[in-house]
């Protein structure tokens, strides 16, 4: 079996993923706005040889019936947050090998400034940066805060395609890889290797020189997680690593196949895309203890959070529907995945589910051996390349996972025991060099 890859899902806010576990006695997430918190998490990841720390992000807040509900503030549900790129920058110096992946929105960021931010991080980290490309489907409040119009679901992906074309020009085409000579007796840069870019797209325009030079990886490693049809098309074209939301082996296998098919349709090697499934667990030395720990996590949360949190992901206030309403009768222009995943369940059932796991899937609960068996079985049946560990409380869940489960995965030969390769792309995607492989559409913008 292939060696699996591992990342840690994190979020620079008190809670994440639609649940509210910060009150649990072992949770340190209320300290997410301190550097100490992030340095400790990053070091834990690096000591465990995880491939990367992923910083999720979102804009906006839950807004049910036009009034921000107090529950969001009393539970620290969606605000306040920190900027993931700044958190990423802050932990570069305390790590050497760990990949740092951050989320950036093609709906709300300015491509020219965003490209410089990614290049700056890639330079300073010596090629350890990844970008999770999101179209931001979560909140109408986000576009109101930015003062920009809401864009419909599929059109947001057209906009994202335009954003990508422009940033590829900046990442790959503006400065050649060997443009900088830094020769005090000669010249700093070779002007023949510095190019004007020109972009007049349907959504974005830019003309002139790139603000940063070619960084160690050129384009940061591109992550994506859209699971709608249009999202999968986008991921199959641009993504180098795709996150899947988790679920049964059958569901994951279907998603893996459709994304690899999209890659082929875009002229790419299907195995060059690394597919990583979100994975949560509650682990303890005995099954009984694990079940007790899980119950404590559920008890630490207030059930009212579920309504506000679901509304934030979809714009739908589930408390305003008859609990017997079928989820398949609802529609949103925000995250369609958060309706589709519940199939024929009723609104009442989904509110209960959401309290237990929010946007994640239900955690696996068991002994370290149980959890390792489940992970290996999922990987064998689905052709995924690894897991994005999504902790229920931080740092306690991650500590349990890396101390109790990772050693078993290593002993069974499915997890690496050290870092190989210098950059995130070489390690994670397995390319022979740090830059985008020739069959990736971004490579076509390179001036070599």
Give the binding site for ligand FMN (CB under 6 A): 56-58, 103, 132, 134-138, 225-228, 231, 243, 245, 278, 335-337, 388
Residue where the block lists tokens 């890889």: 177
Mode of pairing for the β-strands spanning 221-224 and 205-209: unpaired
Q: Per the structure block, which two tokens stand in for 333?
A: 């222009």
193 and 179 in contact (C-beta within 8 Å)? yes
Count, residues in the chain: 448
Nearer to ligand FMN, 337 or 423 (CB): 337
Nearer to ligand FMN, 388 or 405 (CB): 388
Q: Provide, rounded to whole angstroms, the least separation between the CB of residue 235 and ligand FMN.
A: 9
Nearer to ligand FMN, 216 or 246 (CB): 246
What span, in angstroms and rounded, lies between the C-alpha atoms of 191 and 198?
17
**How does 129-156 read in b/e, with b if 16+ C-beta sit within 10 Å?**
bbbbbbbbbbbebbbeeeeeeebebbeb
C-beta neighbour count of 79 within 10 angstroms: 14
Q: Provide, rounded to whole angstroms, the least separation between the CB of residue 390 and ligand FMN.
A: 7
410 and 448 in contact (C-beta within 8 Å)? no
Nearer to ligand FMN, 231 or 434 (CB): 231
**Partners of 222 in the beta sheet?**
131
Q: Provide, rounded to whole angstroms, the least separation between the CB of residue 225 and ligand FMN.
A: 3
What span, in angstroms and rounded, lies between the C-alpha atoms of 363 and 296?
13
Q: Per the structure block, which two tokens stand in for 98?
A: 């760990």
Nearer to ligand FMN, 14 or 336 (CB): 336
Nearer to ligand FMN, 121 or 278 (CB): 278
Q: Provide, rounded to whole angstroms, the least separation between the CB of residue 52 and ligand FMN.
A: 13
Nearer to ligand FMN, 137 or 391 (CB): 137
Phi/psi of residue 16, nearest 5 degrees: -155, 165
DSSP secondary-structure letter at 394?
T
Q: Provide, rounded to whole angstroms, the least separation between the CB of residue 213 and ligand FMN.
A: 28
- H or E stretch at 352: helix 347-357
How many CA atoms, within 13 angstroms, populate the side-chain half-sphere of residue 386?
25
Q: Provide, rounded to whole angstroms, the least separation between the CB of residue 203 and ligand FMN.
A: 18
98 and 53 in contact (C-beta within 8 Å)? yes
Q: Provide, rounded to whole angstroms, the least separation between the CB of residue 149 and ligand FMN.
A: 18
Closest-approach residue to ligand FMN (CB): 231
What span, in angstroms and rounded, lies between the C-alpha atoms of 42 and 50?
10
Candidates 103, 91, 92; CA nearest to 35 is 91
Nearer to ligand FMN, 227 or 398 (CB): 227
Q: Provide, rounded to whole angstroms, the least separation between the CB of residue 9 and ligand FMN.
A: 6
């Amino acid at each position: 079996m292939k060696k699996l890859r591992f990342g840690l899902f994190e979020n620079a806010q008190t809670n994440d993923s639609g649940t509210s576990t910060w009150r649990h006695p072992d949770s340190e997430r209320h300290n997410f706005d301190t550097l100490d918190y992030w340095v400790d998490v990053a070091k834990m990841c690096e000591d465990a040889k995880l491939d990367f720390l992923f910083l999720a992000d979102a804009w906006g807040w839950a807004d049910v019936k036009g009034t921000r509900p107090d529950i969001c503030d009393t539970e620290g549900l969606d605000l306040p947050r920190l900027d993931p790129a700044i958190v990423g920058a802050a932990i570069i110096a305390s790590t050497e090998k760990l990949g740092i992946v951050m989320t950036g929105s093609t709906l709300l960021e300015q491509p020219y400034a965003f490209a410089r931010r990614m290049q700056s991080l890639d330079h300073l980290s010596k090629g350890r940066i990844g970008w999770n490309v999101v179209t931001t489907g979560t909140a109408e409040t986000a576009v109101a805060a930015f003062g920009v119009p809401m864009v419909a679901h599929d059109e947001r992906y057209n906009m994202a395609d335009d954003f990508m074309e422009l940033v590829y020009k900046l990442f790959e085409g503006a400065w050649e890889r060997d443009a900088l000579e830094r020769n005090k007796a000669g010249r700093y840069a070779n002007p023949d290797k510095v190019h004007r870019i020109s972009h007049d797209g349907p959504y974005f325009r830019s003309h002139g020189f790139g603000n940063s030079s070619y960084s160690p990886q050129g384009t940061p490693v591109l992550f994506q997680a859209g699971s709608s049809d249009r999202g999968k098309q986008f991921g199959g074209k641009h993504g180098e690593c795709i996150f899947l939301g988790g679920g049964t082996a059958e569901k994951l296998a279907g998603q893996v196949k459709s994304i690899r098919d999209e890659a082929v349709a875009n002229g790419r090697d299907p195995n060059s895309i690394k597919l990583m499934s979100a994975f949560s667990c509650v682990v303890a030395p005995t099954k009984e203890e694990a079940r007790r720990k899980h119950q404590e996590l559920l008890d630490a949360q207030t059930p009212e959070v579920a309504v506000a949190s679901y509304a934030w992901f979809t714009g739908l206030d589930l408390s305003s529907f008859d609990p017997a309403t079928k989820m398949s009768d609802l529609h949103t222009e925000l995250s369609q995945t958060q309706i589709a995943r519940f199939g024929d369940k009723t609104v009442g059932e989904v509110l209960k589910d959401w309290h237990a796991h929010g946007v994640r899937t239900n955690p696996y609960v068991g002994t370290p051996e149980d959890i390792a068996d489940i992970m290996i079985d999922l990987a064998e049946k689905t052709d995924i390349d690894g897991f994005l560990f999504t902790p229920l409380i931080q740092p306690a869940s991650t500590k349990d996972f890396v101390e109790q489960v990772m050693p078993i995965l290593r002993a069974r030969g499915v997890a690496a025991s050290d870092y190989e390769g210098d950059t995130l792309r070489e390690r994670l995607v397995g390319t022979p060099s740090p830059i985008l492989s020739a069959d990736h559409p971004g490579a076509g913008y390179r001036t070599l």
